[in-house]
Every structure is written in C-alpha cells, then in structure tokens.
C-alpha cells in the first residue's frame, strides 16, 4: 500500500498511476522539518523539480488556504491548503497529529490537511473536502485520500474532557484512562463526507521512534515530518 524510498519518503503505491502527481510523507530518515525546507531540498526529497512551496503556520483551526501560487516559506496561518495549479506544493508538518493528503484525479486538485485532535473535532477534514468542491468542483466521491503516520490508539491517552469531544466508538475505555483513536475518527469523518478511497499508514508514531517523529514520545526534542502533494504539470494525463 505504502512504499518507502531510499530517502525515507513514504508514498501511496496506488498513486503512482497518476503521472501528474507528486506526493509523499517524510520519515525521520528524510530529515527534520521543524523549519520549512528550501525549494532545492523539497525538489530532491520529493522528485519535485521546479515546485514552489506553500508554508503554513498550523494553529489547530478551521482555515483552509487556497494556493493559487506558491508563496514560499513565510507561513500563512491555516491548517490545510488546496491547489489545482501546476508546480505548487501544498504541505503540512506533523509529529503525532494526522497528516492527510486528498487527491481528486478527475478535476485534478490536491489538498494537504493537518488534523490534530482539536482540528479534527472542529471539522478541518470536512472543511478541506468542502473547499475542494467550492474552489474546483471536486466531488467527494472522486477524492482519494492518504493518511500518513500519526499517534495510535495505543498511545493517545487523554483526559475525560478530551474524550468527551469524540464519539464513544473511537474511545477505548479498557485501560485506566481513556484513549482516543484519532486515525479512526478522521477516517469516519472522511467517509461521512463522501470520500470513497481512504488508505492509512497503520503504524503509531510514538511506538516507532526510530522511524517517526512523535511529540508525545520525544517531547520538545521531537522533529516534524512533512507531508506534501502537488501537480507536476497540467499537460500530463
């Protein structure tokens, strides 16, 4: 389902059929993306020569930035970005939160979404699907989705006040404190928004410290992983 290249970038194998698409989820092997990388670094990590980037200052909110050009490393405050323009790379950075890439091969639009528990509860996932429809006419049923590495239900222990914000179906109460399955929650949100094809990296960031950055696992020293998507050309079908 996902294949990791020699740089440590994970890609959804099914998306190799979209010759026009560039995408990937970095791992610790690729580097630490606490700072947004330069365009040459991006180009070598993602086989994305000529792409500009759209840095975000992620604030656990509901704003989706529409990228009609690549504005570079000066981050706009938003937790998702969408584009249908060639050579514009949208991306999010995570270390436990869920990185989500949405691709509409019909209208040829893409989105990158950062869903921590606050953003997920607020509805950032549905908001991104809605902005793809409003901006580009993308139908949810055409959208394909990849979820990158995030914290698993094994490690996402929360207080009762946080657990109460989630449906009981994604709260594990078999241990002393509640644990939330954030990945399952986001998948359910995507399904109820009508997104057909959803593929998720199953592994937990905190359980795999050699491969993934984890805020819970590594605290202040945790790096960030980068998830990106972009359209290489408007000519290639």
Residues that bind Zn ion (CB under 5 A): 152, 154-155, 204, 206-207
Of 19 and 154, the one with the shorter C-beta distance to Zn ion is: 154
Whether the CA torsion 51, 202, 206, 5 is positive or negative: it is negative
CB of 173 to Zn ion, least distance (A): 17
CB of 128 to Zn ion, least distance (A): 26
CB of 24 to Zn ion, least distance (A): 23
Q: Distance (Å, rounded) from C-alpha 143 to C-alpha 110?
A: 9
Write the CA distances from 65 to 88, 114, 163, 225, integer angstroms. 13, 12, 29, 20
Residue number of the CB closest to Zn ion reads 204
CB of 145 to Zn ion, least distance (A): 22
Of 199 and 208, the one with the shorter C-beta distance to Zn ion is: 208
Contacts of 176 (CB under 8 A, 6+ apart): none
Report CA 107 to chain centroid distance, whole Å.
Answer: 20
Q: Are 115 and 187 in contact (CB under 8 A)?
A: no
Helix (H, G, I), strand (E, B) or coil at 98: strand
């Amino acid at each position: 389902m996902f294949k990791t290249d020699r740089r440590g970038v994970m890609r959804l194998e099914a998306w190799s059929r979209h010759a026009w698409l560039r995408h990937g989820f970095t791992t610790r092997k690729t580097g630490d993306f606490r700072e947004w990388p330069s365009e040459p670094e991006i180009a070598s990590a993602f086989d994305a020569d000529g792409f500009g980037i759209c840095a975000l200052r992620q604030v656990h909110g509901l704003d989706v930035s529409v990228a009609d050009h690549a504005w570079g490393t000066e981050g706009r405050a938003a937790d998702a970005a969408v584009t249908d323009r060639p050579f514009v790379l949208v991306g999010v950075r995570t270390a436990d939160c869920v990185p989500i890439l949405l691709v509409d091969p019909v209208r040829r639009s893409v989105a990158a979404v950062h869903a921590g528990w606050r953003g997920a509860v607020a509805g950032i996932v549905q908001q991104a699907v809605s902005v793809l429809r409003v901006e580009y006419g993308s139908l949810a049923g055409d959208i394909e989705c990849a979820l990158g590495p995030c914290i698993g239900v094994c490690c996402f222990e929360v207080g009762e006040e946080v657990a109460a914000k989630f449906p009981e179906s994604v709260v594990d109460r078999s241990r002393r404190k509640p644990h939330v399955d954030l990945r399952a929650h986001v998948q359910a949100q995507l399904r109820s928004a009508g997104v057909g094809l959803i593929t998720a990296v199953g592994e937990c960031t905190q359980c795999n410290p050699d491969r993934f950055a984890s805020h819970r696992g590594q605290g202040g020293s945790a790096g960030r992983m980068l998830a990106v998507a972009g359209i290489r050309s408007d000519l290639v079908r």
